[in-house]
A and B are shown apart, each in its own frame.
Chain A
Amino acid sequence: MKRNFLLFIGFSVLVMLAPQYFRGGYMMNVLVFVGINTMLAIALNLLLGYAGQISLGHAGFFGLGAYLSGIMTTTFSLNPWLAMPLAAIAVGCLAFMIGFPVLKLKGHYLAMATLGLGIIFFIIFNETYEWTGGPSGLSGIPYLELGGISFDTDVKNYYLIWAFTLAVMLFSLNLASSRVGRALRAVHDSEVAAQVLGVNARLLKVQIFALSAIISSLAGSLYAHTMTFISPTSFGFNFSIELLTMVVIGGLGSIYGSFLGAALLTLLPEILRGANDYDIIIYGGLLMVMVMYMPGGLVRGIPALFRKLTGRKGGADHA
């Protein structure tokens, strides 16, 4: 417990110090995205890594949060700080309702159903142009403000986004090591066994689905208020797959793994500057290679590889 707490404190300090080393505005912008993607990857990981339920439509919840926040603050001139929780509550309620029929499905069928949901959301973002601006997007979304400070530069946004990201991380780490986290892992291993032990598996799955959607919606709202412009292409099927890739690469069921996956996949296109667009080949290849050779993700795979190389054994490493 103490060790985990120290790890989190250390991580937070690193996050807060990072701007000292990356003074360039561009890098700060990329790190803002790392924060948003970390939140999203954690949201998906709670569902996929802990509860063992796949979703290929999470970009839809992310988009819904962004659009609800965007529409409430532009068309209805609501305060962004009010719009964000309202959007999150709405998305959470929606996810809770559709969660019951959706999570009755398992495995491949669940994957297809969530994929279908994601695409329906995407079509709605495109077609309800009187609200969303359609394919040309929604602009003029206000920045967040706090005590007279407007979060309108990359450095300010960095602290804003990472404050939320760290809060989501802390919350998820606690959740994972709580009674709920253990119940989720039980559901993951065997729903029947979990039921026998007194876990209401069906309700628990729906609750974690809704929670995951709420975190995604929050990330969406933050995205909308830091970018001030959103368009449907950011919330399509490809992004759902990108999120899946982050979670799988980092490590299923590891919160720090989600950060690792998010950081890697956000930085990758920056490193492969010339190869824009072709990054999907890399995502596809990475997904296949990871599942085949490192099913535990980098978080578990790297230490295992290290132990193998140095010829040492033991030392259960969990993050």
Chain B
Amino acid sequence: MQFDQILQYTLSGLSTGAIYALIGIGFSIIYNATGIINFAQGEFVMLGGLLTLSCLNVLKLPLWAAIPCAIAVSTLVGILFERLAIRPLRHPTPINLVIITIGGSILLRGLAMLVWGKDTHSVPPFSGDAPIAIGGATILPQHIWILAITLIIIFINKIYFYHTISGKAMRACSYNRRAAGLVGIDVKRMVLFSFIISSAMGAVAGIIVAPLTMTAYDVGIMLGLKGFCAAIIGGMSSGLSTVIGGLILGVLESLGAGLISSGYKDAIAFIILLLILFFRPQGLFGKADSERV
């Protein structure tokens, strides 16, 4: 095998990894604010891509308008989900929460199938598809978009969690919900906020990846699970560790698919997931390093 080949797989792995990171951070934000693993997280990724498509084709919006529109609608779905499914739950035991978020995810997937059908749809890339050569490898402009947008979102996230009142309140909730409530933080509102942020981030991930991989009503399962895997590697942090987790997963998957077997590509993520859960449930970088926001 050649160096060029490995470079190629690594580069494309990094951009898929960035997507996993965005989804993983979405998982972590909700988990840290509420203790819930939202099994419906992947469905927001699916909604982002398919809603952009509808905004482009049905509403005839230009791309710059279609994207915020798709994010807004996905976020609205996230709000509805929290209001209608999570908040009214009378016995929020972990098993009930797993079942209800799974129910929600299937419901969303089914509704998407009803609206967009079972076909795979392609979304046009943001700025053409002329390949760019880097060393012996080539990447598409969309890869650069993905990496740049991911970086920007992580930066905004950092500012939100460390330099705004509501971000700090959310961090307080993640350390101790009861104590946060006692100092006057509206915990229920923070829960809603966490759903808003993660559904918006999921939608962004879905929008930027759609031109690369195509999209369909059922892409949410796999992307969601891999995002969760990234979050687990990162120890459920909503910061850098999950980003690194996503990138590691993306690169390993891409190298595994290219050099070993593409059929087992999806298994790699789950084997990593199981190994981390069994041997390092606190994440690859340990609790001390990971910021739990």
A interface vs B, CB < 8 Å? 48, 52, 54, 56, 101-102, 104-109, 111-113, 115-117, 119-120, 123-124, 126-127, 237, 241, 244, 248, 277-278, 280-288, 291-292, 295
Binds A, one of B14-22, B137-145, B146-154, B261-269: B261-269
B155 at the interface (CB under 8 A from A): no
In the bound assembly, the distance between CA atoms of A107 and B106 in angstroms comes to: 20
In the bound assembly, the distance between CA atoms of A277 and B31 in angstroms comes to: 32
Partner of B98, one of A54, A116, A124, A284: A54
* B37 and A108 contact, CB distance less than 8 A: yes
* B277 and A291 contact, CB distance less than 8 A: no
B250 at the interface (CB under 8 A from A): no
In the bound assembly, the distance between CA atoms of A237 and B98 in angstroms comes to: 15
Interface centre among B106, B114, B264, B274 (most CB of A within 10 A): B106
B62 at the interface (CB under 8 A from A): no
* B37 and A278 contact, CB distance less than 8 A: no
B197 at the interface (CB under 8 A from A): no
B163 at the interface (CB under 8 A from A): no
In the bound assembly, the distance between CA atoms of A119 and B99 in angstroms comes to: 18
Chain B, residue nearest A98 (CB): B274
A277 proximity list for chain B (CB < 8 A): 113, 118
Binds A, one of B89-97, B184-192, B241-249, B251-259: B89-97
B107 proximity list for chain A (CB < 8 A): 281, 284-285, 288
Chain A, residue nearest B37 (CB): A108
B interface vs A, CB < 8 Å? 31, 36-37, 39, 85, 88-91, 94-100, 102-111, 113-114, 118, 221, 225, 228, 232, 261, 263-264, 266-267, 270-271, 273-274, 277-278, 281
B266 proximity list for chain A (CB < 8 A): 119, 123
A126 proximity list for chain B (CB < 8 A): 263
B89 proximity list for chain A (CB < 8 A): 291-292
* B110 and A284 contact, CB distance less than 8 A: yes
B85 proximity list for chain A (CB < 8 A): 288, 292
Interface centre among A105, A107, A112 (most CB of B within 10 A): A112
* B114 and A112 contact, CB distance less than 8 A: no
Q: A306 to nearest B CB, angstroms? A: 21
Chain A, residue nearest B98 (CB): A111
* A278 and B95 contact, CB distance less than 8 A: no
Known: A120-B271, A278-B114, A281-B107. A295 touches B281 (CB 8 A): no
In the bound assembly, the distance between CA atoms of A104 and B110 in angstroms comes to: 33
Chain A, residue nearest B36 (CB): A108
In the bound assembly, the distance between CA atoms of A99 and B273 in angstroms comes to: 16
B90 proximity list for chain A (CB < 8 A): 292, 295
* B263 and A105 contact, CB distance less than 8 A: no
